[in-house]
Structure 1
């Protein structure tokens, strides 16, 4: 494996080198970087032209300019990157740092959500092939996949931001609206859970009553502007997650794993009160340390409860610790919503990645960043979920028709074991390739999404560089995206070996 990785790195370096030379030549020959100044009527026009020539090195031959750029970026090996200066004399390294952080904030959450939701939906549709749920999901995935991004972004800005901001000023939900929402959710949930018509009717009826009652209650008590969760909601959700994780991955008959995960939930409830003072107005280092402590508690719980299933118990307990930590953080954000509305009466913004001059405590600032992320994240997730769910469905259907899956069923193994331990792991191999390259591509910036929502990310950096015939930002974009593609490709290769031991040889 080491020899293989070194060989791939060597080939990738040559590809990057040739690609960078081609990109540089194409960029500098795509137009005149002095065109706007030549047409200027400013008194100091000649001075401005000389300054730009100096910044961009236009008085040097192209190969010398490329060599200067190559020598600067070679310093990245020792941590001293020099991407050069833009045509305005701005250090491109600082531009790349700001653009990359903005893009990573945008695409990381969207990609993770798309992977999780897409894989889950793909597995369910493969298991329920040719059912009503499968047909509905197929229709929706093709719809999302074919959506024009700019059009969907404009619709989200209209209904998800402008009209929501109008509604939240005096939030009211009528009985008719509650019934419509309840019917839609009832149809979806009964289709997902399936079963006979009696079971479907019971599921739909319970869902309808619950949704209508909850929406009318929330409206009556003004919950939309002053929401609250509390330890009760956190505990019930965590218990549901603990039972669900155990049922999916080991089965509820494995009491040791179940007790381990439930112990982690109990420790989380104690921590909810024990660290309440630290969570009043924390910082990111404090939250990171608390998360590490929570994971450590989960690992210890799994170690002592696990027995013969120690590895599974430690893994699921650690995952449960992360989930419960996220629920506690969400609880704090919910409590901060009322104060956040006082600082920002129209909470959902349509432009930018943060609110200028926003003042608030930690949770209010986190709400501000989260609301800025909300719409572009929804857009990117919907588009990506379509591809992930279809690839997962196809891969699962192909895997479940293999002889070893039929043999596993004939041995009397439960359907959960057949799907999770036999079919799903092998179905992940082709999906891994898609995930790796999709994430690498998104690091390059969701150009249209960033443009519509006014994000200053990698896509905007590339577009401005091409428009201004400025090679420094374009080359920085190429280098970051190229390295990301190489790294993610390597991660995919390593994941192959983990998923299928035969590939290691």
Structure 2
């Protein structure tokens, strides 16, 4: 393993060096770096041109300038001779100062979109494979191909025009007409009956019940002004926590496992007690407090699973940890929602942002700043999510269908194993092998899509830094963007190789 890692690191370094040379030469010859100054009417134009030529070494050939840049990168790894130096921009700003802020904004955007795309895409792909050639399968296939065909900039513009502006205008008078209630009821009813499936009578009954319940809930939210003063409340929190416990028991252990029910029940009870006991602490919390509480919840779940587990302690610990973490998330969600009216006042009742990554001059606690980050990154995240969602759905569907036809799956069913065990412990693990390859390659695609998304939404991330450098032929910020993307892509490909051996014992890392 050690020799394999050493070889991979060595090969990755060589690939980075070769790719950086190609990228540097192409960027340096993509335009005239003095064009803006040569067209200037400033009386000291020649002095400005000479200063830029000297600071950017424009009098040297691009391969020599690349060698100088590579020497600065080498000092980032081995801090000798003046320390890390990635060059300066045309505005005499150090790239090493710009890159961390830009990288943080981009990673904040890309990470959420990446995680949601994997979870939602794989989950829906599995469900469509288990219900292949049904109405639900055809519907998800239609949506996937539709999203896959849309360019990211068009999705971003549509989200700004219809979702952001439409929702902000709706909040000026958040009441739903009878026609709107009926339309939402019909839409949700159609979706739910596709998911449930079954005979025509069952689907029709599901459609009616889901439509009526949806219309009733929306009517209640409208008359109680829930859209401007939202909260979950104790009853909904208890119901959500119980539903989370039930979901993890059914998914991981099956509904007939008493120890699983006991583990999940204890964690749900602890979460409900904490909901009432920790309200005072949550009112004065910081981001550090929330991180500590999240870690504590996972530890409590693991401890409960350890003592309840018995012969299947590992499974019980997983159920306990997942249940504790997600039930604590419900409590935090409720506290965020109760801060929504205060945030509405700050944003003049137009909370859903369309430009930037934060509200300028905003002062508030962790709940207000968290809502501000959420409203600014919601639409860009959805835009990036749509890029990858369709791919994961289609790959996971085809992978699951292929795995379900394998001999070992038929053997597991012939032995009388429960269908949940066959799907979760046998088929799902092997289905993840091709998805691992897609995940490794999709990271680079998401970072590339962030260039367009950040430009449309005005987020000051790596994408905007790259575009600004490309327009002005400013090579150093372009190469800073290249370094982050290239290192990330190589790292994820390396992790994918290691993941293969974890998912399939026949694969050995040598």
TM-score bracket relative to the smaller structure: over 0.9
What is the CA deviation profile of residues 435-494 of structure 1, one whole-angstrom value per residue up to 9, with x for unaligned ones?
122124323552221111111222222222222111111111111111101110111111
Structure 1 segment 3-18 matched on structure 2, within 5 A:
3-18=3-18
Are 2:220 and 1:217 aligned?
A: yes
For 2:210, the equivalent position in structure 1 comes to 207
> For 1:466, which of 451, 467, 470 is the aligned residue?
470
Query: What are the equivalent positions in structure 2 for 1:251-330 lying under 5 Å apart?
Result: 251-330=254-333
Q: Does 1:40 align with 2:40?
A: yes
Contact 2:286/2:366 (8 A) holds in 1? yes
CA RMSD of aligned residues (A): 1.5
For the pair 1:442 / 2:440, whether they are aligned, the reply is no
Question: CA–CA distance in 1 between the matches of 2:42 and 2:429?
Answer: 66
Counterpart residue number, 2:431: 427
Q: CA offset at residue 275 of structure 1?
A: 2.4
Structure 2 CA distance for partners of 1:81 and 1:199, relative to 1, 3 Å: farther
The answer as to whether partners of 1:85 and 1:92 remain within 8 angstroms in 2 is yes
Distance in 1, matches of 2:151 and 2:440, equals: 24
Are 1:462 and 1:474, in contact at CA under 8 Å, matched by a contact in 2?
Answer: yes
Partner of 1:354: 358
2:368 equivalent to 1:364: yes
Cα gap change, 1:333 to 1:404, in 2 (>3 Å): same
TM alignment of 1:152-163, pairs within 5 A: 152-163=155-166
1:60 Cα shift? 3.8
The CA deviation at 1:85 is 0.8
Between the aligned partners of 1:330 and 1:374, the Cα distance in structure 2 is: 15
Cα shift at 1:197: 3.0
1:115 matched to 2:118? The reply is yes
Report the equivalent of 1:84: 87
Question: Could you tell me whether the CA contact under 8 Å between 2:188 and 2:210 is conserved in 1?
Answer: yes
Which stretch of structure 1 is more off in the superposition, 391-400 or 162-171? Answer: 162-171
Paired position in structure 1 for 2:196: 193
| Aligned-pair CA distance for 1:46 | 2.2
Pair 1:264–1:75, CA change in 2 (3 A) = farther
5 Å matches for 1:391-430?
391-430=395-434
Distance across 2 between alignment mates of 1:47 and 1:479: 32
Q: What corresponds to 1:173 in structure 2? A: 176
Alignment map for 1:48-127 (pairs within 5 Å)? 48-78=48-78, 81-127=84-130
Aligned counterparts of 2:312 and 2:78: Cα–Cα separation in 1: 44
Q: Which residue of 1 aligns with 2:247?
A: 244
Residues 357, 376 of structure 2: 8 Å contact kept: yes
Instruction: Decide which of 348, 367, 380 is 1:376's aligned counterpart.
Output: 380
Aligned equivalents of 2:265, 2:272: Cα separation in 1? 11
* SS at structure 2 position matched to 1:504: coil
Could you report, residue by residue, the CA deviation over 1:302-349 in whole angstroms, capped at 9, with x for unpaired residues?
001111111011112111222122211110111011111111121111
Residues 142-177 of structure 1 show CA distances to partners (whole Å, capped at 9, x for unaligned) of 001001322222221111111211110111101221
Q: Distance in 1 between matches of 2:134 and 2:399?
A: 18
Superposition deviation, residue 5 in structure 1: 2.2
1:78 shift after superposition? 4.7
Q: What do the CA deviations read for 1:165-195 (whole angstroms, capped 9, x no partner)?
A: 1110111101221121111111211211222
Gapped regions of structure 2 (runs ≥ 5): none
Partners of 2:203 and 2:428 in 1: how far apart? 27
Shift of 1:382: 2.3
Cα distance between partner residues in 1 of 2:466 and 2:504 = 38
Q: Distance in 1 between matches of 2:451 and 2:14?
A: 27
Change (3 A) 1:81 1:203: farther
C-alpha distance after superposition, 1:212-266 (max 9, x if no partner): 1111111111111111212321221111111111111110111112211221111
CA distance in 1, matches of 2:86, 2:241: 47
Q: Which residue of 2 aligns with 1:475?
A: 479
Corresponding residue pairs, total: 505
Does 1:492 pair with 2:492? no
Whether the aligned pair in 1 keeps the contact of 2:451 and 2:464 (CA below 8 Å) is yes
Structure 1: state its 5+ residue gaps: none
TM-score by length of 1: 0.97
CA contact (8 A) 1:441 1:485 kept: no
Q: 2:153 aligns with which of 131, 145, 150?
A: 150
